[in-house]
Amino acid sequence: MIRQALRRNPWSFLGPFSTQMLAAALVAAGLGITTSIDRAPLDAAARQALTDSGVADIAIIFVMIAIYLSIIIVGVTMAATIAQQARDIALVRAIGATPGRVRRSVAAQAAIVAVPATLFGVPLGALGGRAWIDGLVAHGLAPAAVTFQGHPGALPIAVAVTVGTSLVGAMVAAIRPSRIRPAVALAESGAPRRRIGKVRTAAGLVLVAGGVVLSVAIAGLDAETTDQLGLFVMLALCVGAGLLGPALLKVAALVGRLFGDTGRLAGDAIGVRAKALSGALVPLTLAIAFTAVKVIILNTGERVSGTAPDAADTWLEYSGTAVYVAFAAVAAVNTLVTVVLARRRDLAVIQLAGATRGRALRLVVCEALLVTGTALVVGAAVAATTTLPLLHTALGTWTPWMPASWLVTGVLATAALVLAGTALPAALALRRPPIEVVS
Amino acid sequence: MENVLELEGVARRFPRGIVALREVSLRVRGGEFVAVMGATGSGKSTLLHCAAGLDRPSAGSVRLAGREIGRMREGPLARWRRDRVGFVFQSYNLLSELTVAQNLKLPGRLGGPRRRGVDDVLAAVGLQGFGRRPVGELSGGQRQRVAIARALVTGPSVIFADEPTGALDPSTGGQILRLLRQAVDRDGVTVLMVTHDPGAAAWSDRLVMLRDGTVATDAPTPDAETIADRLRTMSTAVAA
């Protein structure tokens, strides 16, 4: 069964693979950074200064981030992978595989993919770690004597981390699909589930409302308290937006109707796949919100106070955000690729119904832009609600500010990510004659 | 012979008020070949799913090979299916990337009994020497024969067949039905087959007709023409 899964849909493992690769890179980089600092030829005073600066702690944080994000994102991407195996799972369940057996098989698939992913990731991590150490030195955060040195145990440790996290993530992702009754799975594998849980929507609304109320409430407090509570505003809004993801996409689907026939078709497609697509919407929204909050706070501060923040601090802040954004981007692109690949048949049917290749592709691009737009709007709303009370209490202004260059880069980067995850695989899929795909 | 399958007042309702099975009671003795027919939506596939433990009835009880399966937990139920039941579906349902032999060894790999050898069952379905061929290369008829071989390899008490000839031409379909008939006559297996094809149903010993989720008739199987006539009267009765 493991063999069948790996051979039949090798591309569906792209998600777990790239997540594991990134996690391995982060582990290797983090370990390398600690080793580099430990082994640097420094005198006692310089070492003490470096320890006090907390730079070494950041390396540990990298490793921790790698562990927990890879559990979550391997879980999310494996869920999409498992969805593609629904028929095979239903079959082996029918002929007598227990749910536990299916879960173990899925976990084994993830673990097997983790090994090559780690082999690619560790050298990448060494490169990244080297660049980061160079950055530290260049910004005067570490003495020039600190040079990058790889951790001798980076590879085995990274393998242990990626295999371990993949086992956990995949096991959790497989719980529901492995317990489904075979008869339901045999019937369901054709059509995606359309209904969105009422509890899910209600919980999402409560969290979003709570976040907004908290945001308004803390705007009147002193700067320090607001700063501390601001994190909860962001958390509530992010989790809330995540729960509301499918519902938000249904709204976006209605917007699509305004853009002619292609937009209407795209809207319908998004409406049907809202649940699957929200797996891409959520990480995109989080990445946009995280980055926007950082950028707005740093830049509005600079604008209001008239003094630029310490370049070294800025660099540290952004490098941390970059790690989160990289993971979120991987998760988003992978979910999109899986959704598009699962739609090969649909696209072929659309072509058989009279659409040209160009038109089918335009449809996918239109869907991509709707998802991008939703992510940008929701991300911006989360960022604004989070930053407004912070700006008001700390700086006395209600207007968040972001340089136009950041805004343009953000919008373009999001659009590029979404297009890479949709239009590219769709263009490749559309190269096969539709009748071959359908039969 | 004792009953291999006993359904007692089985009902299956789906969410949003759809009733697939209203009330079905059915006893199948060992070594019987039963065909289940009925119009689309009459509940015949749901009946097969509930009888085979692939789905759970909303009411009533199902005894399969001497055990009440309605309340069994998923794990033990899966093992019970593995050891007592074989399946043949319309869409073949083989793992397409594996070879014929790997597909046949699958129940054994899942911990099931290996009462018959792979070569033995391949010979029984007329596919000697096909063991190393990838399933993806085989024709529809050959795949369905592999599916029957896989159902036979564990030496099951019952084989459930859901439209086994639905995707095949009449002569290839005939080969498949002959194999099921052989399994009944030679190996004493019980077969419960759902079909909409009177020609396929004619191979059975006993014909159960379903209408609106209940048993309309249950009698020894007449010839194909009589079955076709009876189906026509039934559908016009529904239309009127």
CB A252 within 8 A of CB A318: no
CB B35 within 8 A of CB B230: no
Tokens of A122: 């560790």
| A236-254 pLDDT tens trace | 888 888 888 888 888 888 8
Strand-pair category, B214-220 with B206-211 = antiparallel
Q: How far does the CA of residue A10 sit from the closest CA of chain B (Å)?
A: 12
Q: What span, in angstroms and rounded, lies between the C-alpha atoms of B194 and B200?
A: 9
The list of chain A residues with pLDDT below 70 reads: 1-9, 11, 185, 187-196, 435-439
Tokens of A277: 């697509």
Task: Return left, alpha or beta for A278; rule: phi > 0 is left, psi -120 to 50 is alpha, else beta.
Answer: alpha
Nearest to A181 among B56, B89, B95 (CB): B56
CB atoms near residue B238 (< 10 Å): 11
Provide the pLDDT for residue A188.
55
| B31-74 pLDDT tens trace | 999 999 988 888 888 999 999 988 889 999 999 988 999 888 88
Task: Please judge whether A96 and B54 are an interchain contact, meaning their C-beta atoms are less than 8 angstroms apart.
Answer: no
Contact partners, residue A213, CB within 8 Å, separation at least 6: none
**A residues 348..377 contacting B (CB < 8 A):** none
Nearest to B87 among A7, A95, A179 (CB): A95
**B59 — phi, psi (to 5°)?**
-150, 160
Residue A2 contacts B where some CB pair is shorter than 8 Å: no
Q: How far does the CA of residue A436 sit from the closest CA of chain B (Å)?
A: 14
Q: What span, in angstroms and rounded, lies between the C-alpha atoms of A371 and A15?
A: 19
Q: What span, in angstroms and rounded, lies between the C-alpha atoms of B198 and A328?
A: 57
Compare all CA atoms of chain A with the CA of B48 and give the residue at the minimum distance: A183
Q: Work out whether the CA dihedral B101, B107, B110, B116 comes out positive or negative.
A: negative
Which residues in chain B have Cβ-Cβ distances shorter than 8 Å to A3? 97-98, 102
Task: Please judge whether B97 and A7 are an interchain contact, meaning their C-beta atoms are less than 8 angstroms apart.
Answer: yes
**A residues 379..438 contacting B (CB < 8 A):** none
Q: How far does the CA of residue A186 sit from the closest CA of chain B (Å)?
A: 9
Q: How far does the CA of residue B107 sit from the closest CA of chain A (Å)?
A: 7
Give the predicted TM-score (pTM) of the model: 0.75
Q: What Cα–Cα distance (Å) separates residue A198 from each residue in A201, A202, A243, B154?
A: 5, 6, 11, 44
Compare all CA atoms of chain A with the CA of B136 and give the residue at the minimum distance: A8
CB B79 within 8 A of CB B116: no
DSSP state letter for B77: H
Q: How far does the CA of residue B44 sit from the closest CA of chain A (Å)?
A: 13
CA angle in degrees (0–180, nearest 5) for B176-B180-B184: 165
Contact partners, residue B147, CB within 8 Å, separation at least 6: B87, B88, B89, B92, B93, B94, B164
Tokens of B167: 């995707």
Q: What span, in angstroms and rounded, lies between the C-alpha atoms of A29 and A216?
A: 40
Residue A99 contacts B where some CB pair is shorter than 8 Å: yes
Task: Please judge whether A1 and B74 are an interchain contact, meaning their C-beta atoms are less than 8 angstroms apart.
Answer: no
Q: What span, in angstroms and rounded, lies between the C-alpha atoms of A242 and A247?
A: 10
- Longest C-alpha distance within chain A, in Å? 75
- Nearest CA to A320 out of A26, A18, A16 is that of A26
Q: How far does the CA of residue B93 sit from the closest CA of chain A (Å)?
A: 6
- Nearest CA to A20 out of A338, A329, A276, A327 is that of A327
Task: Please judge whether A91 and B93 are an interchain contact, meaning their C-beta atoms are less than 8 angstroms apart.
Answer: yes
Provide the pLDDT for residue B63.
93
Provide the pLDDT for residue A50.
80
Please give the order of strands across the beta sheet that includes B85-89. B67-68, B59-64, B3-14, B18-29, B214-220, B206-211, B33-37, B190-194, B158-162, B85-89
The dihedral over CA atoms of B34, B37, B42, B43, expressed in degrees to the nearest 10, equals: 30
DSSP state letter for B99: B
Residue B139 contacts A where some CB pair is shorter than 8 Å: no
Residue A228 contacts B where some CB pair is shorter than 8 Å: no
Q: What span, in angstroms and rounded, lies between the C-alpha atoms of B63 and A164?
A: 42
Q: Which residue has the higher pLDDT, B197 or A230?
A: B197
Residue A101 contacts B where some CB pair is shorter than 8 Å: yes
**B211 — phi, psi (to 5°)?**
-145, 125
Which residues in chain A have Cβ-Cβ distances shorter than 8 Å to B93? 87, 91, 94
Q: What span, in angstroms and rounded, lies between the C-alpha atoms of A102 and A165?
A: 18
Complex prediction ipTM: 0.77
Provide the pLDDT for residue A190.
46
Task: Please judge whether B98 and A184 are an interchain contact, meaning their C-beta atoms are less than 8 angstroms apart.
Answer: no
Which band of pLDDT confidence, cut at 50, 70 and 90, is reported for residue B237?
Answer: low
Q: How far does the CA of residue B40 sit from the closest CA of chain A (Å)?
A: 15
CB A3 within 8 A of CB A10: no
Tokens of A339: 């959704």
Residue A183 contacts B where some CB pair is shorter than 8 Å: yes
Residue A180 contacts B where some CB pair is shorter than 8 Å: no
Which residues in chain A have Cβ-Cβ distances shorter than 8 Å to B110? 92, 95-97, 101
CB A167 within 8 A of CB A110: yes
CB B55 within 8 A of CB B31: no
Q: Work out whether the CA dihedral B135, B139, B140, B145 comes out positive or negative.
A: negative
pLDDT-wise least confident of A37-46, A258-267, B111-120, B217-226: A258-267
Task: Please judge whether A91 and B82 are an interchain contact, meaning their C-beta atoms are less than 8 angstroms apart.
Answer: no
Residue B106 in this model has a pLDDT that exceeds 60: yes
Q: What span, in angstroms and rounded, lies between the C-alpha atoms of B173 and B170?
A: 5
| Half-sphere exposure of residue A433: CA atoms within 13 angstroms, side-chain side | 3
Which residues in chain A have Cβ-Cβ distances shorter than 8 Å to B49? 182-183
Task: Please judge whether B54 and A99 are an interchain contact, meaning their C-beta atoms are less than 8 angstroms apart.
Answer: no
Q: Quick one: average pLDDT of B174-181?
A: 91
CB A21 within 8 A of CB A124: yes
Residue B98 contacts A where some CB pair is shorter than 8 Å: yes
Residue A345 contacts B where some CB pair is shorter than 8 Å: no
Pairs across A and B, CB distance < 8 A: 74
Mutate one of A8, A9, A98 to test the B interface: name it (highest B CB count within 10 A). Answer: A98
Residue B96 contacts A where some CB pair is shorter than 8 Å: yes
